């Protein structure tokens, strides 16, 4: 007799709490093998194919494409042990243990939750004929009773968003499975609350507020235009940049530099054949050398302990614009890599970013960011720090400009460098010293060799 096993959305790592269903890869009634991807999801970090650790017949799918699910929500149920699926999937009662390729599992297969034959998956019938039936069933589920002030929410992000805005989660009815409160529920409540006067505000009368300037009762009803949900990468970027602006007192300094010699050095390095060295890799090598001289800039601030944490390893992030939005892949242990190794790793991560193949681990943990906004044809910028990092080097476009060189006016390849830093970790002298060292290496690459 078949055994019905429930597979839930696994912890995708790095503190991610939810994912958006992009595309289902299997249909209800389809036979799947162990570790076969069943759904493609988008997290705040990357696109991920989620493989199912069980082999058998898919009896239910939970959530339609475009639906955002919290970690721990049911994804699919699979009937295993039937004659029809034994040949295709093999003996699968224990599963593979590889809940997510590249991430492993949070617990051993022997301890994995099972649904007995006499149990029914809690959020839907055992075998609905289509995903619409699953959705209808989940929508009809009543919110769980709240005992001793408990709130049906598992996402720390949702709790923090409500706490920061003074919203009592106990007053909300969740739209997720079994009444689970999602981020969308909190944001909807905040938007609705923004249109109501606070308790201390006196009620307005028609004589006090002319009809022509009366406040609207519904933001959605009065603002016209196309609405784009802040989800996935766009939402994660918005949250992170907002937090950076709130918490970090940043400052920016900049300088123009003559990059002619750096461009010549790169051309010379690439003239001998072999793997090409990118300009970004040269700048990355300069950054790691500068951080060796100014280690206080490779740090973060622990506000709770009122301490600056100086980091021993340089994990260098670099900003990359993709079709899915801005991402910052991270080169691990950049301080241990030479220019060639940096160039190869940057190229690999850039290609993975373009194809959406970056893993969460490759998008987190950076300690310093290199931002080459010159690729957009601009000279300067005052970027927002990549929280919780303390510094970022910005590089503008390299263009021919008039420049005083060796006592005379000449046309040189000039670049504007900007340096944004957390003023809590250092003063302007340290930031200026860092930027001046970078500019000296750009103008005279031999400086880098002399100081290594």
State residue 398 phi and psi, 5-degree precision: -105, 115
Rounded to 10 degrees, what is the CA torsion of 429, 432, 437, 438? 150
CA atoms of 119 and 200, how far apart (whole Å): 52
In terms of phi and psi (left: phi > 0; alpha: psi -120 to 50; beta: otherwise), the region of 118 is alpha
Residue 433 has which token pair?
């010293």
Residue bearing tokens 């809590």 = 424
Quote the distance between the C-alpha of residue 29 and its chain's center. Answer: 34
CA atoms of 325 and 395, how far apart (whole Å): 20
Q: Which among 102, 78, 132 has a CA at the least distance from the CA of 10?
A: 102
Helix or strand run (H / E) with residue 267: helix 260-270
343-358 in b/e burial notation, b at 16+ Cβ within 10 A?
A: bbbbeebbebbeebeb
Dihedral sign, Cα of residue 11, residue 12, residue 16, residue 20: negative
CA atoms of 430 and 419, how far apart (whole Å): 11
Residue 304 has which token pair?
């709770």
Is position 427 annotated as part of the catalytic site? yes
Q: What is the DSSP letter of 308?
A: E
Quote the distance between the C-alpha of residue 224 and its chain's center. Answer: 29
Residue 165 has which token pair?
């805005």
Answer yes or no: are the C-beta atoms of 234 and 360 closer than 8 Å: no
Residues annotated catalytic, as ranges: 423, 427
């Amino acid at each position: 007799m078949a055994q019905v096993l429930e597979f839930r959305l696994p912890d995708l790592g790095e503190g991610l709490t939810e994912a958006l269903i992009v595309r289902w890869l299997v249909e209800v009634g389809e036979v799947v093998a162990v570790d076969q991807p069943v759904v493609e999801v988008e997290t705040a970090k990357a696109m991920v194919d989620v493989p199912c650790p069980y082999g058998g017949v898919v009896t239910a799918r939970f959530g339609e494409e475009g639906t955002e699910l919290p970690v721990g929500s049911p994804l699919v149920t699979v009937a295993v042990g039937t004659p029809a699926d034994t040949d295709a999937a093999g003996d699968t009662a224990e599963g593979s243990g590889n809940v997510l390729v590249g991430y492993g599992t949070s617990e051993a297969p022997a301890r994995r939750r099972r649904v007995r034959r006499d149990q029914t998956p809690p959020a839907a019938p055992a075998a609905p004929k289509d995903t619409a039936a699953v959705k209808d069933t989940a929508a009809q589920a009543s919110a769980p009773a709240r005992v001793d002030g408990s709130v049906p929410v598992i996402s720390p992000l949702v709790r923090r968003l409500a706490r920061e805005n003074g919203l009592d989660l106990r007053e909300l009815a969740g739209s997720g499975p079994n009444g689970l409160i999602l981020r969308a529920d909190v944001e909807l409540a905040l938007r609705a609350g923004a249109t109501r006067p606070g308790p201390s505000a006196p009620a307005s009368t028609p004589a006090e507020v002319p009809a022509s300037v009366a406040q609207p009762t519904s933001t959605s009803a009065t603002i016209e235009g196309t609405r784009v949900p802040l989800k996935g990468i766009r939402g994660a970027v918005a949250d992170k940049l907002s937090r950076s602006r709130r918490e970090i007192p940043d400052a920016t300094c900049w300088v123009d530099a003559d990059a002619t010699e750096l461009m010549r050095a790169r051309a010379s390095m690439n003239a001998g054949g072999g793997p090409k060295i990118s300009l970004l890799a040269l700048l990355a090598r300069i950054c790691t050398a500068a951080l060796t001289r100014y280690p206080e800039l490779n740090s973060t601030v622990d506000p709770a302990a009122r301490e600056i944490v100086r980091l021993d390893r340089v994990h260098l992030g670099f900003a990359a614009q993709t079709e899915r939005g801005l991402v910052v892949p991270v080169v691990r242990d950049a301080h241990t890599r030479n220019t060639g190794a940096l160039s190869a790793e940057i190229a690999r991560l850039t290609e993975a970013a373009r194809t959406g193949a970056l893993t969460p681990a490759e998008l987190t943990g950076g300690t310093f960011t290199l931002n080459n906004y010159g690729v957009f044809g601009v000279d300067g910028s005052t970027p927002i720090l990549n929280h919780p990092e303390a510094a970022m080097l910005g590089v503008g476009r390299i263009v021919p400009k008039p420049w005083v060189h060796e006592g005379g006016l000449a046309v040189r390849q000039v670049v504007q460098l900007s340096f944004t830093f957390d003023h809590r970790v250092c003063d302007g002298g340290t930031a200026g010293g860092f930027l001046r060292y970078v500019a000296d290496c750009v103008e005279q690459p031999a400086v880098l060799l002399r100081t290594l």
